[in-house]
Structure formats: C-alpha cells, structure tokens
C-alpha cells in the first residue's frame, strides 16, 4: 500500500468511530449549515439553501495540513438572510496571516415539478484565497425518487447539486447530500479544478458527515480529497 493510502486509512480510523457515535442519536433534521468556506453548503461546495430573512448563522471550520502545509487552516464565518432568496456572508481565514473573504448567493428559481432550483453566487468575491473570484451557477434537485427507481427500494432523502464556477469551485462541481436519519446526513462532492490547492489547481473528491446536535447547533466532520481532515461547528439563529 502506498504512503498516501496508509495516511487515508489512519484518518478513516478516526472518522468512522465518530460517525458511528453520531448515528446513535435521532432528532430534527440536520438542515442547512455553513460550508468550510463559509457560504451555506456541503463541505467546500455551496448548495441551494438560503438563510431565512432576518436569520443569521455563525460557524468555525478547520482543515489540518491543507494542501501539503504544516499549519491548520482556520475559518470563522457568518451569514445573514437579507431577503427570502438572498444570503450574504463573510469569513476570516487564518493560516499564519489572515484574509477576509466575502460570500453571497441568490436563488433565482425554486425547485418545481420536473425542474431544478437555480442558484447563483460568489465564494471569495475578492479572490483573496484564489486567483479568480469564485462566481458560480448551481442546479439543485431532489433525487430521492430517482434513487428509489434505480435501487428498486425506498431511499432516504437524497439531494443533488451540479454547478460550474471559478476559483475555489472552478469548472464543474457536483455535490450530494443524503439524509440517513433525522439528525444525520452524509455529504460527498467532486470539484474538477479547485484553485484552493495552488495556482494550477487540482480535482478534489471530498466526503463528510453533518450532525444536528440541537435545532441550532451543527457539527461537521470530513475529508478533503481523502488527505486532509476537516471539522467544524455552526450555530443558527432565526433572528438577529
């Protein structure tokens, strides 16, 4: 087995027992929460969820040894719902120095029968972490019925996202959010070319879990490209 393979197994030995503990409890749905980069979403990629008008969420995430570095990348974020379909936010990223990134998204079309939701947005609007602003357009759809037809059995709620963008989510990206229990969901995503890892970028395959500790608190655990461990927590308030 390669050195990379051994490292992945070592990290899975940490994540899997934690995941098993999280599955033991059930309560309200895991729902929406900030991604690692601040905007509401999965691991690194955005989704079509929007903070409710007058609502706010706060979050902290960390990525250990990201992109081959020796330091932990820390991200502190906040998002506010300004309109029913508009969310804006900011995050402070520290890794030796510090950068402030601005995020925002607007759902221009809600999901309907036979049609996906359409969302546009920015991740790192000022290109502080990457060479280009992370503008994107995203299609999102409930895939539960499709999964049931494919497997010929009842499926847990499954939601899929397909987008194209620049910067942190450069070119094509895909996300899946599978709610396995009212309190627990699995996330998986693929980014075909993320500039977060350097000027040339590279494809990233990420996986993670999200757990609703309470109606307000969310806990996240994940792996970035099955190399770097990420963890975090967020708090959601209905009114600010």
Q: How many domains does the chain have?
A: 1
Taking a C-beta distance cutoff of 8 angstroms, is the pair 192, 202 a contact? Answer: no
Residue 91 lies in a domain: no
Strands (E), 54-183: 56-63, 73-83, 86-95, 97-109, 117-123, 134-142, 158-165, 170-181
The per-residue pLDDT for 68 is 58
**Would the pLDDT of 21 be above 50?**
no
User: Token pair 């955005």 is at which residue?
Assistant: 46
The per-residue pLDDT for 23 is 38
- 197-229 tens-digit pLDDT: 665 668 999 999 999 999 899 999 999 999 899
Tokens of 183: 């309190």
- 130-177 tens-digit pLDDT: 888 889 999 999 999 877 777 677 778 899 999 999 988 989 999 999
Residue 195 lies in a domain: yes
pTM: 0.81
The per-residue pLDDT for 173 is 96
The per-residue pLDDT for 57 is 92
More confident residue, 87 or 65: 87
The per-residue pLDDT for 239 is 66
d(CA 163, CA 35): 16
**Would the pLDDT of 76 be above 80?**
yes
Mean pLDDT, rounded, of the chain: 84
Structural domain for 170, as ranges: 3-34+42-49+104-228
The per-residue pLDDT for 215 is 87
More confident residue, 119 or 4: 119
Residue 216: strand, helix, or coil:
coil
In Å, what is the CA distance from 8 to each residue of 39, 194, 203, 204? 27, 20, 17, 14
17 pLDDT band, cuts 50/70/90, is: very low
Residue 127 lies in a domain: yes
The per-residue pLDDT for 201 is 67
d(CA 227, CA 224): 6
- 94-122 tens-digit pLDDT: 977 889 999 999 999 999 988 999 999 99
Taking a C-beta distance cutoff of 8 angstroms, is the pair 190, 170 a contact? Answer: no
Residue 144 lies in a domain: yes
């Amino acid at each position: 087995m390669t050195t990379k393979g051994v490292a992945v197994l070592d990290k899975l030995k940490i994540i899997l027992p934690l995941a098993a503990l999280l599955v033991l409890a059930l309560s309200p749905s895991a729902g929406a929460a900030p991604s690692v980069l601040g905007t509401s979403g999965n691991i690194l990629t955005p989704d079509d969820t929007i903070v409710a008008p007058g609502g706010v969420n706060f979050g902290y995430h960390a990525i250990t040894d990201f992109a081959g570095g020796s330091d932990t990348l820390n991200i502190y974020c906040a998002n506010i719902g300004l309109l029913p379909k508009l969310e804006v936010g900011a995050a402070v990223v520290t890794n030796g120095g510090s950068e402030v990134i601005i995020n925002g998204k607007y759902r221009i079309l809600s999901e309907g029968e036979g049609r996906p939701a359409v969302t546009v947005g920015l991740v790192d609007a000022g290109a502080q972490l990457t060479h280009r602003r992370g503008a994107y357009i995203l299609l999102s759809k409930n895939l539960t019925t499709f999964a049931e037809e494919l497997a010929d059995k009842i499926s847990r709620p499954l939601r899929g996202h397909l987008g194209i963008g620049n910067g942190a989510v450069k070119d094509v990206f895909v996300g899946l959010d599978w709610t396995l229990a009212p309190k627990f969901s699995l996330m998986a995503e693929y980014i075909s070319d993320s500039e977060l890892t350097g000027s040339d970028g590279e494809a990233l395959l990420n996986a993670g879990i999200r757990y609703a500790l309470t109606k307000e608190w969310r806990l996240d655990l994940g792996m970035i490209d099955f190399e770097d461990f990420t963890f975090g927590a967020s708090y959601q308030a209905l009114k600010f």
